[in-house]
């Protein structure tokens, strides 16, 4: 399936060259809008309904912010997407595709096809704050930081236990240290505000890192 | 620091049998106690099968296995554990059951014998309180399957002596395991983090955020975990997850440890996971459907 990319600059999903960018054409059945100003490009897109799918890169916001919502009946050929990425680390192979209740199945199939053709892996989810992974990992990261403060174990023992006991490639504390505690603080703060669940409230160490990054 | 030559294991279920393999393989004389002769027999057969595989894979020789098995015995007589320098209990996760066992052990074991618990959710201090020797009591939580997993969570209770903790730590290392020290907190490290993570994944399914296969794919591709949480829950069994999570919730009252309602509905419908052929996925033989 042919697709074109409209790059509005500063994409977190595709910050560097990638086969997905290389395979794009000048025009196609699918339009992919990436970057920080994707919303503006979506609004100025001529006849988007004629495309199989229009994909817009999301940050922490929901797709409904761009499309509008209507009594749980919303859905069209416009999908949201983001590659999962922790802080300063490279984006992972995972692309979360966001759909709405009445999103066209052909649009989802088209989106899946073009990402998978570029070697990426796709997980489709509903239009929820935090999508799949941020919703799952942020409470886990906050709990690890909090339990370190409370002396459950040393940072090394916490990380070793989760690596050896569960087969995780890296313990949570080492992972956060490597990718940026301040970024975790920013993402989990946004989710805390959206969901109101204390599990998402940034842990003390994350808040400290955030304050220091701003100083 | 007390020298450990003989290791006792109380309970010959999956965990007990695995711990006995670890101790015997490291050259310790190992005595396994269970009240049920048939459980001992089953564990013996599993152990022989495990070591036969070790020989097949070239990890041990037939003669080494012969030596290991000669040092490993089973008994239905708790008094046989009087010969042990340490007894590691791996019986049912119930404080009353563990207290009753420890009280019996305290009667038959000499004063120098240390007791250890393989509990994954109960408090070491609370179990130790019913042992008659809370200063010589320590938490040693092995991971499943113990004979393959190196990690052991070591927890001192409030009254555990430093000498006891050091001896048990030394034993762990001598058995070729990797000990980590954790406070005597509900769930220690592993279950404290795993149970709420798995509950959160179930809540995503419950709320319609994504289908199980999408969630598992996201976790594996995005975080590099070897298994997705819903595949793992199907493997563990939802009934087992319910037991552990309810114990953890009762001890912590943390909302993320509370079992989502979907779990109880699935259990009521007989959808326990792999063992019933249906959980978050459907199974036929070794094939998984819905992934």
Q: How many CA atoms lie within 13 A of A70 on its CB side?
A: 8
Using CA coordinates, name the residue in chain B closest to A153: B182
Q: Where in chain B is the domain with CATH 1.10.1040.10?
A: 191-285
A133-210: what fold?
1.10.1040
> How far A137 CA lies from chain B's nearest CA (Å)?
8
Per-residue confidence at B101, pLDDT binned at 50, 70, 90? very high
User: pLDDT at residue A32 above 80?
Assistant: yes
Q: How far is the C-alpha of A163 from the C-alpha of B26, rounded, in Å?
A: 24
Task: Report whether B273 contacts B233 (CB < 8 A).
Answer: yes
Question: What's the pLDDT at A26?
Answer: 86
Cβ-nearest to A139 among B181, B182, B256: B256
Residue B32 phi/psi, 5° resolution? Answer: -105, 130
Active-site amino acid positions of B: 120, 141, 153, 191
Mean pLDDT of A31-45: 92
CATH for the stretch B191-285: 1.10.1040.10
Distance in Å, alpha carbon of A108 to nearest chain B alpha carbon: 13
Q: What is the pLDDT of residue B210?
A: 98
Task: Specify the pTM.
Answer: 0.93
Q: Is the pLDDT of residue A120 over 80?
A: yes
The beta-carbon neighbor of A167 closest among B182, B226, B255 is B226
In the beta sheet, which residues pair with residue B8? B31, B87
| pLDDT at B287 > cutoff 90 | no
- Alpha helix (H) residue ranges in B115-260: 124-128, 162-174, 190-207, 212-223, 229-236, 238-252
Q: What is the band of A215 on the pLDDT scale with cuts at 50, 70, 90?
A: confident
At residue B180, the 3 state secondary structure works out as strand
pLDDT given at position B121: 87
A165 and B149 within 8 Å at the Cβ level: the answer is yes
Residues of A in contact with B143 (CB under 8 A): 164-165
Is pLDDT at B126 greater than 80 in this prediction?
A: yes
Rounded to a whole number of angstroms, the CA Rg of chain A reads 19
Asked if A108 reaches chain B (Cβ–Cβ under 8 Å), the answer is no
* CATH homologous superfamily for the domain A3-125: NAD(P)-binding Rossmann-like Domain (3.40.50.720)
Q: Cβ contacts (< 8 Å) between B205 and chain A: which residues?
A: none
CATH tag, B6-181: 3.40.50.720
CA distance B188 to chain A (A): 8
8 Å CB contact of A153 and B196 = no
Q: CATH 1.10.1040.10 occupies which residues in chain A?
A: 133-210
Percent of chain B residues topping a pLDDT of 90: 94
CB A152 to CB B150 under 8 A? Answer: no
At residue B196, does pLDDT exceed 80? yes
What value does the mean pLDDT take over residues B177-189? Answer: 96
Nearest to B217 among A123, A152, A153 (CB): A123
Set of chain B residues whose Cβ sits within 8 Å of the Cβ of A81: none
Percentage of chain B beyond pLDDT 70 is: 98
């Amino acid at each position: 399936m042919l697709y074109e990319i409209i790059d509005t600059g500063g994409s977190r999903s595709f910050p560097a060259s990638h086969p997905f960018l290389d395979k794009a054409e000048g025009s196609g059945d699918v339009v992919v809008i990436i970057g920080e100003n994707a919303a503006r490009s979506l609004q100025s897109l001529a006849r988007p309904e004629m495309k199989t799918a229009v994909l817009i890169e999301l940050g922490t916001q929901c797709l409904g912010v761009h499309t509008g919502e209507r009594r749980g009946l919303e859905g069209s050929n416009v999908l949201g997407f983001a590659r999962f990425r922790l802080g300063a680390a490279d984006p992972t192979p995972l692309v979360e595709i966001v759909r709405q209740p009445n999103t066209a199945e052909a649009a989802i199939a088209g989106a899946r096809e073009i990402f998978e053709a570029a070697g990426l892996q796709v997980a489709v989810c509903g239009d929820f704050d935090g999508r799949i992974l941020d919703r799952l990992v942020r409470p886990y990261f906050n709990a690890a930081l909090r339990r370190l403060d409370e002396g459950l174990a040393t940072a090394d023992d916490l990380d070793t236990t989760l690596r050896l006991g569960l087969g995780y490639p890296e313990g949570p504390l080492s992972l956060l240290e490597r990718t940026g505690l301040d970024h975790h603080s920013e993402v989990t703060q946004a989710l805390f505000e959206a969901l109101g669940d204390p599990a998402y409230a940034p842990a003390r160490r994350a808040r400290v890192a955030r304050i220091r990054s701003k100083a | 620091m007390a020298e450990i030559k003989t290791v006792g294991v109380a309970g010959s279920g999956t965990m007990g049998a695995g711990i006995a393999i670890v101790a015997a393989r490291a050259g310790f004389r190992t005595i396994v106690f269970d009240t049920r002769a048939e459980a001992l027999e089953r564990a013996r057969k599993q152990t022989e099968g495990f070591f036969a595989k070790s020989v097949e894979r070239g990890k041990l020789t037939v003669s080494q296995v012969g030596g290991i098995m000669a040092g490993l015995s089973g008994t239905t007589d708790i008094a046989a554990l009087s010969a042990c320098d340490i007894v590691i209990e791996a019986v049912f996760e119930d404080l009353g059951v563990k207290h009753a066992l420890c009280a019996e052990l305290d009667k038959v074991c000499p004063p120098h014998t240390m007791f250890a618990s393989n509990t994954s959710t109960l408090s070491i201090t609370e179990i130790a309180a019913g042992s008659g020797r809370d200063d010589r009591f320590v938490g040693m939580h092995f991971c499943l399957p113990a004979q393959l997993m190196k990690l052991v969570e070591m927890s001192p209770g409030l009254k555990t002596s430093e000498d006891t903790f050091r001896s048990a730590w030394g034993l762990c290392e001598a058995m070729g395991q990797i000990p980590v020290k954790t406070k005597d907190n509900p769930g220690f490290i592993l279950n404290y983090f795993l149970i709420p993570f798995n509950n959160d994944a179930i809540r995503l399914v419950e709320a319609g955020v994504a289908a199980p296969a999408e969630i598992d794919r996201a976790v594996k591709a995005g975080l590099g975990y070897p298994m997705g949480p819903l595949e793992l829950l199907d493997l563990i069994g939802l009934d087992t997850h319910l037991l552990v999570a309810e114990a953890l919730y009762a001890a912590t009252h943390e909302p993320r440890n509370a079992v989502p309602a979907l779990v109880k509905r699935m259990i009521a419908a007989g959808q326990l996971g792999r063992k019933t052929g249906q959980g978050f996925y459907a199974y036929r033989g070794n094939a998984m459907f819905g992934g």
